[in-house]
Structure 1
């Protein structure tokens, strides 16, 4: 990604983001997954990892919860995102367009920071680029298509790193990966894997009981997630 991590005038990035941005400067694919990304092929996709800050609850991340009636990923929390359209200039354009379509996010309210390594989803052959952004001008967001998005939330980092809210889930396939139980949402799979890695890189993680494992009820035909694991998955792409 060619976007300079230096913020535009009047859009200063908070200092609490500095450790994460410095660490991401040397990030490798292996920091997020052990599934190699092929040099060619795969359907290009992107998700927006949007970090903001609330005056009362501090730093947070925007997530949405997919509608329970969806054919794939029903009820699953995810970052805004989806497959690239031919007119999208780059991964950032895809992520911002999808976020606007899904939750009404104003692209002008986001300062783009950097891209994470491309993550390949073998089951669907998606190549997903997580795009990191700073929400310098937060505004109300909501599901624009209730048939696809049931809920939108800003999850505080303080709650994500609370040891009482961290656990691992075991998928029926046998895959075990990180998860977060926050504000009535069980965040797991691709989204939890990326979040877990970023919390570690930012120096925000706190020790948590990795022995806390729950069984994940079968969710349609959703394969096991890959980000932060040794297994393959179908990410939060439609």
Structure 2
């Protein structure tokens, strides 16, 4: 099992959540993480009677050459589901990750990030956990895990059959109104999107980024009437 960085916080086995010694710019995210309700993040909530496949994603903030940034990956175009779609590292819990109701999602988020991007999990400080959300199309119940990339390590697409590329996006680009739009799904569903790093970040990932920027107080006014179809590259 992987171990989180740090020795203070909420312990559970070898997993720790710690908000200590974060950079000042990350404090608004850490502060809001403890008060956000699931309904404020998404209208898709886990089934009331349980069910769904437990999973986790790692929302990893780092300090890059252009300031604060987020780690993302782009799924391979050959995959059967979500092909070519940018996402956070993450995936389903394994039995070895532990209790899904406590620290299992923390270990799963770090393990999946390591498997997908080569990230060294010992350099990550988990500082928050957001409420569980639901992805109806896949049946996943997702726990978003917030991390601070305290000690950076090289990252890359470990398995090209699964991941096309791994990249970081400056928060300044995510908050720039020029890079914001409303994605239009063929079904007619509308959702927040970001045109950054030659990618269109939308869906579950785009929605989470949108809400984090909003509750952290980083959001800038943008043109919600600007629409981008999901076949924007064609």
TM over 0.5: yes
Find the counterpart in structure 2 of residue 74 from structure 1.
83
Find the counterpart in structure 1 of residue 125 from structure 2.
111
CA separation in 2, counterparts of 1:4 and 1:112? 5
1:124 CA displacement:
2.4
Contact 2:130–2:146, Cα closer than 8 Å, also in 1: yes
Moved over 6 A (4+): none
Find the counterpart in structure 2 of residue 225 from structure 1.
none
Residue 38 in structure 1 maps to residue 56 in structure 2: no
Residue 6 in structure 1 maps to residue 16 in structure 2: no
CA separation in 2, counterparts of 1:124 and 1:22? 31
Residue 86 in structure 1 maps to residue 95 in structure 2: yes
CA separation in 1, counterparts of 2:18 and 2:217? 19
Find the counterpart in structure 2 of residue 131 from structure 1.
145
Of stretches 117-126 and 68-77 in structure 1, the one that deviates more from structure 2 is 117-126
Contact 1:172–1:217, Cα closer than 8 Å, also in 2: no
CA separation in 2, counterparts of 1:201 and 1:140? 30
Query: Which sections of structure 2, spanning at least 5 residues, go unmatched?
Result: 1-9, 99-103
- Against the structure 1 CA distance between its residues 95 and 4, is the aligned structure 2 distance closer, same or farther, given a 3 Å change threshold? closer
State the number of aligned residues. Answer: 213
TM-score by length of structure 2 reads: 0.87
TM-score by length of structure 1 reads: 0.86
Q: How does 1:153-168 map to 2 (within 5 A)?
A: 153-168=167-182
Contact 1:23–1:201, Cα closer than 8 Å, also in 2: yes
Aligned with 2:96: secondary structure? coil
Alpha-carbon displacement from aligned partner over 1:82-128 (angstroms, at most 9, x marks no partner): 11111112101101111111010111010011111100122322100
Find the counterpart in structure 1 of residue 3 from structure 2.
none
1:5 CA displacement:
3.0
Residue 185 in structure 1 maps to residue 199 in structure 2: yes
Aligned with 2:94: secondary structure? coil
Aligned with 2:111: secondary structure? helix
Query: Higher relative contact order at CA 8 Å, sep ≥6: structure 1 or structure 2?
Result: 1
1:174 CA displacement:
0.7
Contact 2:56–2:109, Cα closer than 8 Å, also in 1: yes
Find the counterpart in structure 1 of residue 101 from structure 2.
none
1:38 CA displacement:
2.4
Residue 50 in structure 1 maps to residue 55 in structure 2: no
